Structure 1
């Protein structure tokens, strides 16, 4: 079984309960009635967790009933194919992981220095970005890439909270030309008005901050309190998903640093509107 974000989250939560109980993987596997190797795969998200094994594990680790309900929901979701699998022929591993992270998120915090985040892009803006950064993409696939990006944005209509911090360059550079950029800026304003979206702009006049040269998304899930976040960090040639507490804390520090240099949400919207007016 290929580990997914959901199966890894399930495994991590079970591991945290096992560690807190003082049991080794071998001891717990014996109590549950499975091989130690199988339990190791479950904790790594590489093996399915059956309802009887979950029940036996919950009893052995004295997991509260309400948490067991959450774990069972996560177990079932881990076995369900995601809608993004319909795009498997064009979907890179990096984008698939990002979509999986977004799928169950309650709060997404992003930082982008030069581009409007994908969750806030219009179709026309996204098309220009995709064709510019992937010049060898097949023409026949462009519409499917755009469809995929638009489907990702449905999470905002489902109630996920988005905090997007972006550099002033993202609202100033005329990607796609004047009309495309005007519509993109108006779209940002509409999304803030109609969804749980907050934007903050880092002005050109801002000082250095800890997120310089970075692009990342901090993901928070609603049902986790011990290690509630993961970080997706994207670069020009590589990407990484971080789940270790120490690394996550460094990205939280970087986000706090950049937000200290950013305009307030109200001032940021005013700057977006000013940029929109300048394109009239």
Structure 2
């Protein structure tokens, strides 16, 4: 019998319009009363903030409640697995890269605060010696797309190479040669917990979805991440691709 193909065949998010750049649009979320996870808007047990406030409370004027709930999960996660089909995933975006995304979207009076918000999870996750383990699959399209121009992309690619070579993250590039796959139109994250089930976060054309109770859906995305990993370059080949692209940018 041939091996079973691994795929997502995703149920599309149905929670509303596509999320904004800061990923704080509306979302659909179900939470089990019997979960051992902390309340969604509670501070993480890892948190170095005071126990009376979540770190994102300073951004409450620009964050919708569902996104604050997602941040509660993210802050408590032991592992994060991420994939994006067209952009560098948020946990690896430099400040200049984020700013270029906002510039492309037009004037926004809260742009700087949104940039600070997007940068904050990086600082919290990567500064902890025993922090969250992060595995990222970055599409070759994202590596080659000149967001902000050559100088911004040189710094962006240098940053993710530094994170990968210092073993702060596990990084694999999904090459164009991988062809079609089930996540071409959606980005997703899987948040893992030592004593609980994974939480799924999906962003696509139809909106965003945070889910942990639909175990069949979560399992499909777990298989999808494994499938994308199988199709991706090795960690060593990914660094070689980054070096090649950096060299091209230096010559541009």
Same fold (TM over 0.5): yes
Determine the structure 1 residue equivalent to 2:35. 13
> What whole-Å deviation, never above 9, does each CA across 1:236-265 have from its counterpart, x for those lacking one?
451001112111001111112222211111
Q: Mind listing any 5+ residue stretches in structure 2 that lack a counterpart? A: 1-29
C-alpha RMSD of matched pairs (Å) = 2.6
Larger helix proportion of the pair: 1
CA distance in 2, matches of 1:208, 1:84: 37
CA distance in 1, matches of 2:203, 2:227: 19
Work out whether residues 82 and 136 of structure 2, in 8 Å CA contact, stay in contact via their aligned partners in 1. yes
| Superposition pairs of residues 109-120 of structure 1, within 5 angstroms | 109-120=81-92
With structure 1 as the length reference, what TM-score do the two structures score? Answer: 0.68
| Superposition pairs of residues 138-149 of structure 1, within 5 angstroms | 138=109, 141-149=110-118
Q: How many residues align?
A: 210
With structure 2 as the length reference, what TM-score do the two structures score? Answer: 0.76
Determine the structure 2 residue equivalent to 1:275. 245
CA distance in 1, matches of 2:201, 2:107: 25
CA distance in 1, matches of 2:219, 2:52: 31
Larger strand proportion of the pair: 2
Determine the structure 2 residue equivalent to 1:238. 207
> What whole-Å deviation, never above 9, does each CA across 1:50-104 have from its counterpart, x for those lacking one?
xxxxxxxxxxxxxxxxxxxxxxx79xx9x84311011011113453233222101
Determine the structure 1 residue equivalent to 2:6. none
Work out whether residues 121 and 184 of structure 1, in 8 Å CA contact, stay in contact via their aligned partners in 2. yes
Larger radius of gyration: 1
Work out whether residues 154 and 246 of structure 2, in 8 Å CA contact, stay in contact via their aligned partners in 1. yes
- By how many angstroms is 1:235 displaced? 1.8
Q: Point out which structure has higher relative CO (alpha carbons under 8 A, 6+ apart).
A: 2
| Superposition pairs of residues 83-122 of structure 1, within 5 angstroms | 83-122=55-94
Change (3 A) 1:276 1:97: farther
